[in-house]
């Protein structure tokens, strides 16, 4: 029997790998297209590294903070891409790497569920594939999928108290991606959850101690029955609870977890090819772009804008239905009840309870956080229901139904299996029509590998090394840079980098590219940006009209993607 189980167990991993690999491959191999312009940047930097070139000064964006404070916060990710870039075209290599990383994340997610003996682990892992927005995020040809692998390895080390592994993951997470603060926050939250769980489990003992303390205060102030006595009693209770919670939080195991995670992160920041300029870069990227974000001031990337709550719920009905039920069950069963063994919750469930709620709120603020909310919500659901599924005496509670229907349990089981099969077929049909086909078409309709290739080649031939190209949008930079590293550009990767360097200069550029400034364009561009070549995307109709009407510009190139104008020489 044991041998049969050992043979069957790997089947779950095999099917998770096979299903996720085929689904993700259908996205990545649908066409030679990419959804996110940042892919061009990642492919270019990986290409540089494959040639032994480490970029320390990002000269291609002289009007942004990257010119002086560049830090490759994807450094480890780009190193991992190097072997792929050796065998494939740089852009295609990023897609192949993403396919592998996204598949490995699903396998790791399933492995994590199995390691914690979660009932119906295969179902929970498959559930991840039903969320359209999540599938988009982990299949973007950039770092999110491999970052999730590191994050959930960190969770395993955290929950199993593998201190050395947590330190290693924390260190390399800093080199990999700038979402490393999530692991630090998760460590703090887990230590708090552990402390709070002890407080709840020993509630009766604490209550008794508080009661005894109150009695002493009452006896001491028998003759003074006033408001101060009343307040002192409740203040005493609050202080007792708080001190107990703090004492539990500062337990040796918790302090070790916090220390190794914190020291791993500090080491990753200091033992870094980009130290010390990475400190300022991290401040801008994590705090000003990630947490604060200028979405109400600047036209930032689509991923930073809010996700409407109703739209979010409607896009992922299975996830939210289970999550809402899990939240209700968690609140009902959190307190330990010795008469019902399936009551009480583990500290891991409380950790994911807090994280899933935080990232639900944060996903509403910025839609890109769906990549964290979905796995957090599923893991919370799994941990919340697990004790119920493992210990609930289903036969005892279904006995009245069996007697009423006069059905044996094996027939009831057969009926349940039939119902589950119908639900599974319905879910599979929903997935193939509403999720898989829609996502495949979405990835198929991305930007071509050759985006701006022709205009880049033209500029490469016509301009000198270091010539600044005034271009019409910050998100054009990655493709222009990928095809033409000979020239320098105005803004790229995120508009915040230019805004932080020089706010007034940013608005000068913005007003020109948005067509708001109609006069003195040549003088403004030459004096402020030292540029004489202007690339305008074909969609920028107002800017094209302004340049076409200005006698100081001559059109020297045009294709289906855009135009190039040159400022005429002064006579």
List pLDDT tens digits, range 312-353: 898 888 899 999 999 998 888 876 654 555 556 788 999 999
Chain mean pLDDT for the chain: 87
pLDDT band for 5, please (50, 70, 90 cuts). very low
Helix (H, G, I), strand (E, B) or coil at 558: strand
Chain segment 220-266, per-residue pLDDT in tens: 555 455 555 554 556 666 777 788 788 888 999 999 999 999 999 99
Work out the angle at residue 212's Cα, subtended by the Cα atoms of residues 206 and 217, and round it to the nearest 5 degrees: 125
pLDDT tens digits for 180-201? 999 999 999 999 999 888 888 7
How confident is the model over 452-479, as pLDDT tens digits?
999 999 999 999 999 999 999 999 999 9
- End-to-end, the C-alpha distance of the chain in Å comes to 93
Q: Which tokens is 365 given?
A: 């603020």
> Angle at CA 147, nearest 5°, toward 146 and 152?
100
pLDDT of residue 183: 97
List, in order, residues 6 or more apart from 542 with CB less than 8 Å away: 514, 515
In our burial notation (b when 16+ CB lie closer than 10 A, e otherwise), range 250-281 reads eeeebeebbebbeebbeebbeebebeebbeeb
Q: Quote the pLDDT of residue 301.
A: 86
pLDDT at 424 over 70: no
């Amino acid at each position: 029997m044991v041998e049969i189980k050992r043979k069957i167990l790997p089947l779950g991993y095999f099917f998770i790998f096979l299903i996720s690999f085929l689904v993700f491959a259908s996205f990545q191999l649908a066409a030679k297209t990419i959804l996110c312009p940042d892919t061009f940047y990642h492919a270019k930097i990986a290409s540089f590294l494959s040639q032994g070139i480490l970029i320390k000064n990002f000269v291609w964006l002289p009007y942004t903070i990257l010119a002086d404070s560049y830090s490759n916060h994807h450094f480890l990710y780009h190193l991992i891409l190097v072997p792929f870039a050796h065998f494939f075209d740089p852009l295609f290599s990023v897609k192949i790497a993403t396919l592998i990383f996204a598949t490995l994340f699903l396998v790791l997610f399933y492995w994590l569920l199995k390691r914690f003996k979660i009932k119906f682990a295969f179902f929970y892992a498959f559930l991840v594939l039903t969320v359209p927005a999540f599938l988009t995020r982990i299949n973007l040809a950039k770092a999110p999928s491999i970052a999730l692998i590191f994050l959930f390895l960190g969770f395993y080390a955290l929950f199993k108290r593998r201190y050395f592994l947590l330190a290693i993951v924390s260190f390399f997470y800093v080199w990999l991606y700038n979402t490393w603060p999530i692991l630090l926050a998760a460590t703090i939250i887990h230590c708090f959850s552990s402390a709070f769980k002890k407080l709840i489990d020993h509630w009766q003992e604490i209550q008794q101690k508080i009661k005894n303390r109150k009695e002493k205060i009452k006896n001491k102030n028998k003759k003074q029955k006033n408001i101060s006595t009343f307040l002192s009693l409740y203040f005493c209770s609050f202080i007792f609870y708080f001190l107990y919670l703090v004492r539990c939080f500062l337990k040796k195991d918790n302090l070790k977890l916090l220390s190794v995670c914190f020291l791993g992160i500090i080491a990753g920041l200091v033992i870094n090819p980009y130290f010390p300029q990475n400190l300022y870069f991290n401040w801008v990227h994590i705090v000003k772009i990630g947490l604060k974000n200028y979405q109400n001031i600047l036209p930032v990337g689509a991923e930073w804008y809010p996700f409407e709550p109703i739209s979010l719920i409607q896009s992922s009905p299975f996830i939210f239905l289970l999550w809402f039920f899990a939240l209700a069950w968690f609140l009902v069963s959190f307190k330990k009840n010795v008469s019902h063994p399936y009551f009480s919750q583990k500290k891991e469930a409380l950790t994911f309870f807090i994280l899933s709620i935080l990232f639900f709120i944060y996903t509403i603020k910025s839609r890109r956080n769906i990549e964290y909310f979905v796995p957090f919500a599923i893991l919370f659901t799994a941990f919340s229901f697990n004790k119920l599924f493992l210990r609930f005496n289903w036969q005892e509670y279904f006995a009245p139904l069996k007697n009423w229907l006069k059905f044996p349990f094996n027939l009831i089981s057969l009926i349940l299996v039939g119902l589950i099969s119908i639900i599974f077929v319905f879910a599979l049909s929903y997935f193939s029509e509403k999720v898989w086909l829609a996502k495949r078409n979405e990835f198929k309709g991305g930007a071509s590998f050759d985006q701006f290739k022709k205009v880049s080649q033209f500029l490469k031939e016509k301009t000198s090394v270091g010539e600044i190209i005034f271009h019409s949008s910050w998100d054009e930079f990655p493709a222009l840079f990928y095809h033409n590293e000979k020239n320098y550009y105005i803004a790229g990767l995120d508009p915040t980098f230019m805004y932080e360097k020089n706010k007034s200069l940013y608005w000068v550029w913005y007003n020109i590219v948005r067509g708001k400034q109609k006069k003195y364009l040549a003088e403004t561009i030459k004096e402020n940006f030292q540029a004489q070549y202007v690339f305008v995307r074909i969609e920028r109709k107002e800017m094209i009209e302004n340049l076409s009407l200005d006698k100081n510009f001559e059109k020297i190139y045009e294709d289906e993607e855009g135009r190039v104008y040159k400022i005429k020489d002064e006579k």
